[in-house]
Structure 1
Amino acid sequence: MRYSPRLFALGSVLLLAGAAYAQNFSAPYGVLSGVQNGAGITLARTSYAFDFSRSAADAATFINSFELIPGTSFDPDIALNLPGTTLNAGRSNEYTLGTPLTGDRSIRFDDLAVRDGGFGSNVAPGFYDFQIRVRGGTSATATDQLALFGFSLEIVPTFSLAVAGSPSQSSVPQGGSFLANVSITNPMARGAILNGIYAGVPAFSTPGDGMDAEFFDGSGLYFTPGGSVVTSNETVASAHSRVDARSDQRLGSYISNYGIIAGFYSGDQYSFEAGPKYAVTVTSAVPEPATFAALAFGGLALLRRRRV
């Protein structure tokens, strides 16, 4: 595994912020890919984002609308979706267009321009450039240009990884823990960037109960993708997360649901579930040795009382 030098270059985009406003707009990445055929991908998503920050000393900022400006080679079948009335502000938060942004703020807005699934064979492989103009100002009706982002989209035939999962142990006692592991093989001729990991809620489930994944080991992530690259025909194996069974966890088999997010560029969102799904069995907690001793003495006392 190696780290991608492209992580720095991809952050540069064309930005023109309105001089009359003190807020700052930037884009975390300027190039993303989109697949013609999403077969084999759990979820294929192309989603551009932008970062916004402002100071409490500034007048309220209103973001009111967006405009996509296609480049000369842009194909209308690309059909990226722009925000309608709300913006995804991360962590299940939403910003409603035309409402004031006040105070000290630093927000990443996702889904500035988004497409779920494959783009189809109507869009030929290659690069397509476009811009997105952000309009707003100091009121809900303002139409000033706040920013102008320049983006590029590379359409590729497909994206493929083999992602397998395995547990550190096949069973876990109530109150115990185990590691959910992941192995990633890149069969493509081109390197794949690991952009993130995910787990279902719950990560392991049985009817009526579940166990969640813990990504942090106390000092960092169990698995830190960090834009690392899996080169052609390379296999990378790592712990993915820790899974804890409660002391009152329902006994039985729990089925896995977790995976990784990768792509050709930093910011690509191709999700691959670690499969095939597998089971981990929750068993009764084994008493500590001191508990066994206490039980033995208790049984002996009971026996003696019966003999008297």
Structure 2
Amino acid sequence: MASSDTAVRHPKRRGRRGPRRFTRRDVVVLGVLLGLPVLLDIVIIWGPTLASIGLSFTDWDGIGDIHWIGARNYENLATNYPPFWPAVRHNLMWLGFLGLVATPFGLLLAVIIDRGVRFSRFYQSTLYMPVVLSLAVVGFMAQLLLGTDQGVVNTVLNNHDDPIDWLGNADLNIWMMMLAASWRHTGYVMILYLAGLKSVDPTLKEAAAIDGANARQTFFRVVFPTLRPVNVIVGVITVIESLRAFDIVYAVNKGRNGLELLSVLITDNIIGEASRIGFGSAIAVVLLVVSLGFIVTFLVQELRGARDR
């Protein structure tokens, strides 16, 4: 009886708790779980990034002394290095093709599958399968399909006497490589958008149908705006995939004869026959600035749009 009277007189005492104090074990666990990833990120990502920025202002072959030359690498890059501007153009073409062709096509496939077509599981698995392949493997597959010697495409076209040089012709090979890369990129985008579509509240579609909206209006005015977080992820992935493309063109012809990309120029200058680490670092910094420019602009626009809603 006394205990019940005490509980009545002090109703708040039973549920009151002070601030939780971390034990030494908690601090160690947090340090391991948070400290190690941050340390690895600094060592593997930000360390080499800052080192590349610093080396881009130097003349260094990786063995001798490091000589500070200021912005001379960037001046030579813009004026005295012929492969640079074609590589920039090819990277922008890659970005445009993935962003304007492959990504919308992946969204279209996600919408079709989300509507419950027959054998949807089979289509999902088949379309996603290229994602598990590296771009180097995709490049080797492109050689088997598009090669002039017993290539599948030339064999189907039955033009053995005058085969089309899909990979050697500088006017064609960049488009063939973008198609091959899009084959892999489309499946990735499809899965991301399919996951987003599954999370859309069905009542939103029902309300739009009650208001008289057709399927097209419902998607673009109701469903697609709710996919804004997925759009951010897909946009960032598209920029990264297009600007870091390297494996596929290097597997075909080492990134030459129409397949020059900034990533290939970085590799040729840093680990090529004439090692120019400072000059290659300058190209890497240009690629970093271009990537961050697209990604930051895209994120700011998407986040600003989400805030204004």
The two structures have a TM-score, normalised by structure 1, of 0.19
Larger-Rg structure? 2
The two structures have a TM-score, normalised by structure 2, of 0.19
The higher-RCO structure (CA 8 Å, 6+ apart) is: 2
